[in-house]
A and B are shown apart, each in its own frame.
Chain A
Amino acid sequence: MKLSIYRYDPDKDARPYMQDYEVKLEPSDRMLLDALVKAKAQDDTLAFRRSCREGVCGSDAFNINGKNQLACITKLADLPEHVSVRPLPGLPVIRDLIVDMTQFFKQYHSIKPYVINNDPPPERERLQSPEEREELNGLYECILCACCSTACPSFWWNPDKFVGPAGLLQAYRFLADSRDQAASERLDNLEDPYRLFRCHTIMNCVDVCPKGLNPTKAINNIKEMLVKRAV
């Protein structure tokens, strides 16, 4: 197969360019990551992140034929003969397919991603009904791969001010947790023309999420909580 891969090494390249690789696939190569690893075996200067190779660690999110996806769970059989791989859009490129995710994680940290409960901890687990726990499904599974936030035009324009779909999904994960006591503080933190309300429901995030999660729905739930609080 033919891979066109975005190359840029600030140590030696004046500007980025696309480099073509011809990769000979074997029957055991199923996913795009297998092909990228083959390309790297030919040319060790090709740089990209990867780890678990099963879609749970979130390392190998790239822009693949125009869509943000994880290379390790993108099936070769579903791809055309010619594939172009670029870094996630909207974040500074460090080198080749490796982007600087500082801004992305800063937004994640800004929503206080931890359960806040100031009651003295009981001797055993805090109780939570299966229904209450069910509220966290579709939220806690996020792997912080950044496919969604870097597919979001609002995040491209305001990565410093708009929390972005990944951060907001997690904001709702803690708002939805029956054990958390900081709902009003969390809502205060988001009630802002940028932090939450830059979401214009374009739904690119839903379209690209490799885990099938729905940040737009979570964002709407937060908006609803704000409305309820106001009345």
Chain B
Amino acid sequence: MIPVRRFDAIVVGAGGAGMRAALELARANLRVAVLSKVFPTRSHTVAAQGGIAAPLANSTEDNWHWHMYDTVKGSDYLGDQDAIEYMCRRAVEVVVELEHMGMPFDRLENGKIYQRPFGGHTQSYGSAKMAMRACAAADRTGHAMLHTLYQQNVRANTQFFVEWMALDLIRDPQDGAVVGVTALEMETGELHVLQGKAVLLATGGSGRMFFSSTNAFINTGDGLGMAARAGLPLEDMEFYQFHPTGVYGAGVLITEGVRGEGGYLLNKDGERFMERYAPNAKDLASRDVVSRAMTTEIKEGRGAGPHADHVLLKLDHLGPEIINQRLPGIREISIKFANVDPVREPIPVVPTAHYQMGGIPANYLGQVVAPEGASKEAIVPGLYAAGECSCVSVHGGNRLGCNSLLDLVVFGRSSGEQMAKDIRALPRPQRNLPKDAGEQTRARLARLDGATSGERVAEVLNDLRRTMQAHCGVFRFPDDLAEGVRKMKAIAERAGRTFIADKSKVFNTARIEALELDNLVEAATAVVVSAEARKESRGAQARSDFPERDDQSWMKHTLWFKEGNRLDYKPVHLKPLSVDTIEPKARTY
């Protein structure tokens, strides 16, 4: 028998979204278990740098309407406008709340929170005047936020299961309700069932599917794999953001805040090329726009360096004082990973896989939704998703900088609130677990432990990452995509035949990596299959054969299902909660 533990709520993942939700649940006096495969402050939220978006209007005029407009435009009109309104209207409140929790924001002379310009943040509905909307703690905003949220959870006595990896969802076969998860206690190798009335997936992104990525090793799309194996769809996975400025060769992130503070990009001729691509916003255009411009410069032979394969990020003109005060982490990273001191020399950078706009379909209350009967968005009882693993969809085809940290706290909080409400409304005794609860997971583990030969996990993983890099990058070509789909099919089969030499029960990291590979396979397959099918260019999806956005045929969300790589589509929510629809138009910066 697999041991069973019972809770009111289970939160899978202890990054910004999971910990914000956990706080809400702990304060509601519910019995909450937070599972994380790493100690909470090691979650990847820690690596966010530039800021969290909120129209505090501390330095420039600003309001949620402008923030909402920028977000809709940034999404290339694929974002759901009800969810975007919800997020932007709650932004000031949740950021002020973080400050009250003790988050060490930088300050202005008048004592208010320091804000800087960021890509796509404008005043007056997309005018050439930039809004200072990014609330920053130097260039360590994610670190400051994650630690603050952990500290508040320490105060609230949240029960953490540290270094427990959730493996599969348990659904009631009667109505598909989610009633718990299976999880591996890494230190002992024991498999457990955690039963709960509400389960939140807050497992973050899947950036490790690309060879060159800003993402941490742990970002393996675990919640996506869990959802896909449980028969749930993944939404808009083709929209994968390439951040313009990853350190050339290392992939480590250099915040857009560098350009927010006045840095800019140069090609090999020393030309500030963004002036050609985005005459108004220049280097502070949306990330998809800047990444395409950089890739074009490189492709047309204007890249820098002996291989003409990167561009340069210049910031020495800001002076050592600004760099040390506002961008100290960037200086540290450049010296360590690029052998360049940005006080004197520009940083070599390339577009680098960074953020997954798609994910598990959810509404703005965190409830997971999937097609059922006549409805494209029937609520899956008991299951919630928030943060990068979810698709609410506030980011649509392209996320604006600083909207990710905002997404975490807004929807971490709303999903926590909704879970508490739903748990209270449920009948007292918990449902019975299905008879075969955990069997699916046990079979996966048994295969791994029983395999006496096969391919190494690291080899399959490397092929997956190279395939995604080559076939699903900044610019996408029809033949490449079709071949990518074929290759991912083969890789998925190979992932089912891997072998690990490590058979130990104790902290078996080989087993963990094999289980992570299963999740990455689902996420990567969803990306390439969805990208191949979408015959248009929008946001982060730029196709050579369909270079234009096609609102007539493609203003709709993709839903990918694991079973048979099936695709379905659902309409974009064009109607906001209280204001008029922001009508799609040509997107220029």
Which positions in A face B, CB cutoff 8 Å? 9-12, 28, 30, 40-41, 43-45, 47-59, 73, 75, 94-96, 98, 101, 105, 109, 112-115, 117, 121, 123-130, 132-133, 136, 140-141, 143-144, 174, 177, 179-180
Q: Which B residues are in CB contact (< 8 Å) with A59?
A: 38-39, 42
Point out the residues of chain B lying under 8 angstroms from A125, CB to CB: 56, 96, 99-100, 105, 112-113
Inter-chain CA distance A136–B106, complex, in Å, is 10
Q: A94-B187, A125-B99 are known contacts. Are A44 and B502 too (CB-CB below 8 A)?
A: yes
Of all chain A residues, the one with the shortest Cβ separation from B332 is: A55
Considering the chains assembled together, what is the distance between the CA atoms of A128 and B501 in angstroms?
Answer: 55
Expressed in whole angstroms, the Cα–Cα distance for A115 and B333 within the complex equals 29
Check if A94 sits within 8 Å of B506, measured CB to CB.
yes
Question: 30 A–B contact pairs at CB < 8 A?
Answer: A28-B249, A30-B337, A41-B458, A44-B510, A44-B513, A45-B502, A45-B504, A50-B217, A51-B44, A52-B216, A53-B252, A55-B336, A57-B41, A57-B42, A57-B46, A58-B41, A59-B38, A59-B42, A75-B336, A95-B504, A114-B155, A117-B100, A125-B113, A128-B107, A128-B111, A129-B111, A140-B144, A143-B41, A143-B143, A177-B102
| Distance of A12 Cα from B507 Cα, bound (Å) | 13
One of B101, B107, B500, B501 near A129 (C-beta < 8 A)? B107
Q: Which residues of B lie under 8 Å from residue A117 when comparing CB positions?
A: 100
B506 & A11 in contact (Cβ 8 Å cutoff): yes
What are the 9 closest A-B residue pairs judged by CB atoms, nearest first?
A115-B102, A127-B111, A44-B510, A114-B151, A45-B502, A41-B458, A57-B42, A125-B99, A11-B504
- In the complex, what residue of chain B is closest to A141 when comparing beta carbons? B140
Of the candidates A44, A50, A53, A54, the one whose C-beta lies within 8 Å of that of B500 is A44
Q: Which of B46, B154, B507 contacts A94, CB < 8 Å?
A: B507
List, in ascending order, chain A residues with CB within 8 A of B44's CB: 51-52, 57
CA A9 – CA B501 in complex, angstroms?
14
Q: Is the CB of B46 within 8 A of A56?
A: yes
Q: Shortest CB–CB separation between residue B213 and chain A, in angstroms?
A: 10
Is the Cβ of B337 less than 8 Å from the Cβ of A54?
yes
Q: How many A-B residue pairs have CB under 8 A?
A: 151
Specify the chain A residue showing the minimal Cβ separation from B97. Answer: A121
Interchain CA distance A93-B137 in the complex, whole Å = 35
Of A11, A40, A129, which is in contact with the most chain B CB atoms at under 10 Å from its CB? A11
Given known pairs A53-B217, A113-B151, A115-B102, the reply for A44 and B458 (CB within 8 Å) is yes
Residues of chain A within 8 A of B217, CB atoms compared: 50-53
Known: A52-B216, A54-B337. A114 touches B154 (CB 8 A): yes
The one of B43, B106, B501, B507 that contacts A133, using a Cβ cutoff of 8 Å: B106
The answer, yes or no, to whether B528 is at the interface (CB within 8 Å) is no
B505 at the interface (CB under 8 A from A): yes
Residues of B within 8 A of A (CB): 38-39, 41-44, 46-47, 56, 96, 99-102, 104-113, 137, 140, 143-144, 147-148, 151-152, 154-155, 187, 216-218, 249-250, 252-253, 329, 332-333, 336-337, 456-458, 500-502, 504-510, 513
Query: Cβ of A47: which chain B residues have Cβ within 8 Å of it?
Result: 502, 507-509
Given contacts A50-B217, A51-B217, A59-B38, contact A9 B506 (CB under 8 A): yes
Residue numbers in A under 8 Å from B216 (CB-CB): 51-53, 57
Query: Please, how many angstroms separate the alpha-carbon atoms of A23 and B144 in the complex?
Result: 37
Q: Nearest chain A CB to B569's CB is how many angstroms away?
A: 36
- Excluding A58-B42, A73-B336, 18 further A-B contacts by CB distance (< 8 Å) are A44-B510, A47-B509, A49-B38, A52-B42, A52-B46, A54-B252, A54-B333, A56-B47, A114-B152, A114-B154, A121-B100, A125-B96, A125-B105, A125-B112, A129-B107, A133-B106, A144-B39, A179-B102
Contact A41 B250 (CB under 8 A): no
Tell which of A53, A73, A98, A125 has the most Cβ of chain B within 10 Å.
A125
Nearest-neighbour CB distance to chain B for A110, whole angstroms, equals 10
Give Cα A30 to B108, complex, Å: 39
For residue B137, which residues in chain A have a CB less than 8 angstroms away from its CB?
A: 140
Task: Give B250's nearest chain A residue, CB to CB.
Answer: A30
* Residues of the B chain whose Cβ atoms lie less than 8 Å from the Cβ of A105: 39
A12–B151 contact, CB under 8 A?
A: no
Is A48 a contact partner of B509 (Cβ separation < 8 A)? Answer: yes
Chain A nearest CB from B58 CB (Å) reads 9
B107 touches A130 (CB 8 A): yes
Which chain A residues lie closer than 8 Å to B143 at the CB level?
56, 141, 143
- What distance in Å separates the Cβ of B514 from its nearest Cβ neighbour in chain A? 9
What is the chain B residue whose CB lies nearest that of A142? B147
Contact of A43 with B218 in the complex, beta carbons under 8 Å: no
A55 to B504, alpha carbons, bound, how many Å?
Answer: 29
